[in-house]
Structure 1
Amino acid sequence: MRNKYIDLINQTFYFPQEEFKLTDNNELTFHDIDIAALIEEHGTPLKVTYLPKISKNIQKSKKWFANAFEKYNYKGKYFYSYCTKSSHFKHVLDEALSNNIHIETSSAFDINIVNSLLDSGKINKDTFVICNGFKREQYINNIAELINKKHKNCIPIIDNYEELSLLEEQVEECLNVGIRIASEEEPKFEFYTSRLGIGYKNIVPFYKRQIEDNPNVNLKMLHFFINTGIKDNAYYWNELHKCLKVYVSLKKICPTLDSLNIGGGFPIKSSLGFEYDYEYMIDEIVNQINTVCSEADVEVPNIFTEFGSFTVGESGANFYKVLYQKQQNDRELWNMIDSSFITTLPDSWAINKRFIMLPINRWNEGYERVLLGGLTCDSDDYYNSEQHSNAIYLPTYHPEKPLYLGFFNTGAYQESIGGFGGLQHCLIPQPKQLILNRDKDGKLTTTVFREKQTHQEFLKILGYEN
């Protein structure tokens, strides 16, 4: 009978896959990393970041755009920007920026990171800094200070009618700006129009009223963002065409406008059955921009993207041990992990996000249907949504046989949303974190970024210790 866990996977998905393979001992590898060996050395819970995957995804995107530009004889340039809010960690930014890319910021403190990167030589005056978000005093101050230091490629994206005048008050020379389109959301959303940006119909009047005859301001960029990301559906293509109509209208009266930012992001792999044709989507986006501009007899724009999750998401993984199994009734088996989903994978309970979940060992044994529970006393600290029709199947629990689990492609947002280095729900400590890289010979290198959080750190935050 084919009743082993490996049989279940082989019957359900194409396996092995590019990043997932099995060793001769039927233990899982991730990008050819021996996970079992890492766990044996460092224990669980454990968080890892595999830096080469960041560069690999950036280079893939650059190649796809280059191919599309060549295919359609596209006259503009492509600029890959990293959305820093996905992960602000220095090792992530260092790896991403080694690929000659640009960055997008979201808040005041982001500009402090930009200044640090400038001081260290990681970026330079040619690096574009795209400043998004709703801007209040400190963010405005920091942007103005950066521009006044002669960083001409800092482009604040105007989110509301007041921001432009606030920036003008502080910027000493000519100001280059973008305008964000307030896109219409999908019908299933609770609201009709994005709270961010300026409505389609209001952008041209806003330009004529506040920018067209203003010698101190140049409109350089139109920013187009879809909350649900770049998807091959009628909603996305319809919104893109509405955006292109605005671009064409603006370009005919605004010679300084030369860039279109198609923020919104690519999806990342959340299941072994994940399918998404990145190259086709890029090809079609470039084709449609080229076609619309050609028909309107206007120059095509430079294209900016702001990929956050696509840049860093697939570099991350979390590993746990099954501590115990509880049978709560005749149907539900609860495998309790040695950490908390609320604290280490907050998206799994906050927005019901799915990650790839696979056992690390015991693939050659029988399996059972289970639920996964975290250590906190909160009823929401569980994970039960997996690729098998809202069920999780894992090798059968045995007290004398340790079972380890991996959640993969967890590199975006989880630390910042979970509150890295701060208080955690029920004071469950954050796991040990490793940075994984490869040297010039391809050998894996391991650096401990942070040890497991201690009770002394919690007590100091809470005021019990100085």
Structure 2
Amino acid sequence: MNTKYIDLISQTYDFPQEEFQLQNNQLSFHGIDLMKLVKQYGAPLKFTYLPKISDNIQRAKKWFSEAIEKHNYKGDYHYCYCTKSSHFKHVLNEALKNNIHIETSSAFDIDIVNHLKQSGKISDQNYIICNGFKRDQYVQNIAELINSGHKKCVPIIDNYEELNLLTNVTNKDFQIGIRIASEEEPKFEFYTSRLGIGYKNIIPFFEDQIKNNEQVELKMLHFFINTGIRDNAYYWNELQKCLRVYTRLKKVCPSLDSLNIGGGFPIKNSLAFEYDYAYMIDEVINQIKQTCEEEDVPVPHIFTEFGSFTVGESGGAIYEVLYQKQQNDREKWNMINSSFITTLPDSWAISKRFIMLAINRWSDRYERVLLGGLTCDSDDYYNSEQHMNAIYLPKYEKEKPLYIGFFNTGAYQETIGGYGGLQHCLIPAPKHILIQKDEYGNISTELFKEQQTSKAFLNILGYHES
């Protein structure tokens, strides 16, 4: 009878996979010996495998290049990184090795842009696409970037007041984009995105505020779907509506030459994950070209804003199972030495699932369990996998420590969880490790941040030492 954990995983999924391998009955991730990492740094810990960021950027660029060549598409492609997915310096430094551009969403983002410019990581040749609802400081920071001579700073107009706010504080000509307020998927609680300007109002807005404004030039139409780029009727229908607006607008606005198909790619959330990225890009390029040919307008340059796709698959978290509680005849709770609410907040807030695997003891028998965090909140748990209605792990044995890993957690979790700030029940944020690989395949690690201390919490709370 196949009762070992390795048997369960092998029978349920196609395993091993490109990034997941077994070495001496222990899990490795992109060739990283995870148990060696635990022995060196302890658990809980979080890690960022930096080469995966560049890898995903280059994959996307390759797919777009192939589609553009196949369809003889006459526009260029520009890859933008959404900083809101992860603002960390090490993430931006790695991403910017790949000749990309930046998308911002708030005032402090521009401070990061300025820092990157001063350190030579970006230049005036990098597009800075400024999204989000803009008021006061954000407007001022954008204006200062434009006034400094950064001609490729492109504010995306979100509402009817923003253009006037920007022109009042800028002293140079600049380019802008307009964000379309797309219609949301039927399952949403509302029909239309709160962001952007409605389909029917975009051309009247151009005629009223942009056409005769000598200071600004409309360059870009920004199209964003909250659920991302997916092969379903909803996405293709919204894309076609966007393209009809683009072609109509292009006929009255010659300066319009770019389409930003914001809304990212999904990332791997299960060992059973399937998504044909190359096909989707090919079809997007094909539909844009066909629609433009039908309307007899030049095809636009393509911008994408990939956040989770850029950084998500670089991140992971490792916990130790501290104790098992048998709460009734069916439910066994494995208690981890951290908290899901604080370290993987999406698992609690939006029931997001990540890839979860045992790190060690793959040859041991398995059992069905629930995973509980350390806080006293009843919602601090993780109870199922993306394609299973339960969690199975090697059987708990007090004398044989069990470590588990959550993978592809690199997007949003730190910022949503309030990195370096207060945590629920004052559970400390774990150590954070950066992992790099050189051209010869040698792996090196660096401690980015120690586990949060009591002193750090007390200072935030006002219990300052006298």
Bucket of the pairwise TM-score, normalised by the shorter protein = over 0.9
Unaligned runs of 5+ in 2: none
Q: Secondary structure at the match of 2:439?
A: coil
Give CA-to-partner distance per residue, 1:387-428, whole Å, 9 cap, x none: 353210001111111000000000000000000010100000
Instruction: Give how far 1:295 is off.
Output: 1.1
Could you say which residue in structure 1 is the equivalent of 2:448? 449
In the other structure, the counterpart of 1:392 is: 391
Aligned to 1:89: 88
Match of 2:400 in 1: 401
Match of 1:327 in 2: 326
The answer for the alignment partner of 1:314 in structure 2 is 313
Which position in structure 2 is the counterpart of 1:342? 341
Find the counterpart in structure 1 of residue 37 from structure 2: 38
Q: Does 1:298 align with 2:297?
A: yes
Deviations 1:181-205 (A, max 9, x none): 0000011100000000000000001
1:140 aligns with 2:139: yes
Within 5 Å, give how 1:99-118 maps onto structure 2.
99-118=98-117
Q: Supply the distance in 2 between the matched residues of 1:229 and 1:303 (Cα, whole angstroms).
A: 16
Query: Residue 3 of structure 1 aligns with which residue?
Result: 3
Q: Which stretch of the first structure deviates more once superposed, 236-245 or 290-299?
A: 290-299
For 1:430, give the aligned amino acid. Answer: A
The equivalent of 1:270 in structure 2 is 269
1:241 equivalent in structure 2: 240
* TM-score (norm: length of structure 2): 0.99
SS in 1 for 2:214: coil
- The superposition leaves residues 72-129 of structure 1 with CA deviations (integer Å, 9 ceiling, x where unpaired) of 0000000000000000000000000010000000000000000000000000000000
Task: String of CA shifts for 1:285-321, please: whole Å, max 9, x gaps.
Answer: 0000011001111010000000000000000000000
Contact preservation (8 Å) 2:270, 2:387: no
Q: Does 1:15 align with 2:20?
A: no
Percent same amino acid among aligned pairs?
73
Match of residue 221 from structure 2: 222
Aligned to 2:58: 59
Letter in 1 for 2:455: Q
Q: Find the aligned partners of 2:134 and 2:386 in 1 and give their Cα distance.
A: 40
**Closer/same/farther in 2, CA of residues 388 and 368 from structure 1, 3 Å limit:** farther
Unpaired runs of at least 5, structure 1: none
For each residue in 1:225-252, what CA deviation from the matched residue of structure 2 results, as whole angstroms up to 9, or x when unmatched? 0000000000000000000000000000
Matches of 2:222 and 2:387, distance apart in 1:
38
CA distance in 2, matches of 1:76, 1:464: 58
Q: Per-residue deviation at 1:385?
A: 2.2
Tell me which amino acid in the other structure corresponds to 2:457: F
In the TM superposition, what whole-angstrom CA distance separates every residue of 1:339-378 from its partner, at most 9, and x where no partner exists?
0000000000000000000000111111110000000000
* Structure 1: distance between partners of 2:277 and 2:100: 19
- What is the one-letter code of the residue matched to 2:16? P
Say if 2:432 is the partner of 1:462.
no
Tell me the distance in 2 between the aligned counterparts of 1:362 and 1:3: 13
Deviations 1:239-268 (A, max 9, x none): 000000000000001010010000000000
The within-5 A match list for 1:64-213 is 64-213=63-212
Return 165-174 or 311-320, whichever deviates more. Answer: 165-174
Partners of 1:384 and 1:288 lie apart in 2 by 41
Letter in 1 for 2:143: A
Tell me if the contact between 2:102 and 2:128 (Cα under 8 Å) persists in the aligned partners: yes
Aligned residue identity for 1:266: F
Q: Structure 2 CA distance, aligned partners of 1:391 and 1:405?
A: 15
1:421-436 equivalences in 2 (<5 Å)? 421-436=420-435
> Conserved in 1, the CA contact under 8 Å of 2:354 and 2:386?
no
Distance, in Å, in 2 between the alignment partners of 1:6 and 1:291 is 49
TM-score (normalised: structure 1): 0.99
2:257–2:301 contact (8 Å) kept in structure 1: yes
| Larger CA deviation: 438-447 vs 231-240 | 438-447
- Structure 1 residue matching 2:79: 3-state secondary structure: strand
Which amino acid in structure 2 is aligned with residue 9 of structure 1? I
Structure 1 CA distance for aligned equivalents of residues 399 and 386 of structure 2: 28
Deviation string 1:137-188 (CA, Å, 9 cap, x unpaired) is 0000000000000000000000000000000101111121000000000111
Tell me by how many angstroms 1:214 deviates: 1.3
**The residue matched to 2:246 in structure 1 has which SS?**
helix
User: 2-side partners of 1:88 and 1:453: how far apart?
Assistant: 19
Higher mean displacement: 436-445 or 330-339? 436-445
Distance 1:261 1:209 in 2: 23
Structure 2: how far apart are the matches of 1:4 and 1:387? 21
Distance in 1 of aligned mates of 2:351 and 2:227 = 15
Distance 2:44 2:281 in 1: 38
Amino acid at match of 2:159: N
- Matched-pair contact (CA < 8 Å) for 1:168–1:175: no
Find the residue that maps to 2:208 and give its secondary structure.
helix
Deviates more, 1:135-144 or 1:434-443: 434-443
Q: Which amino acid aligns with 1:18?
A: E
4+ residue runs over 3 A deviation: none
Q: CA offset at residue 135 of structure 1?
A: 0.3
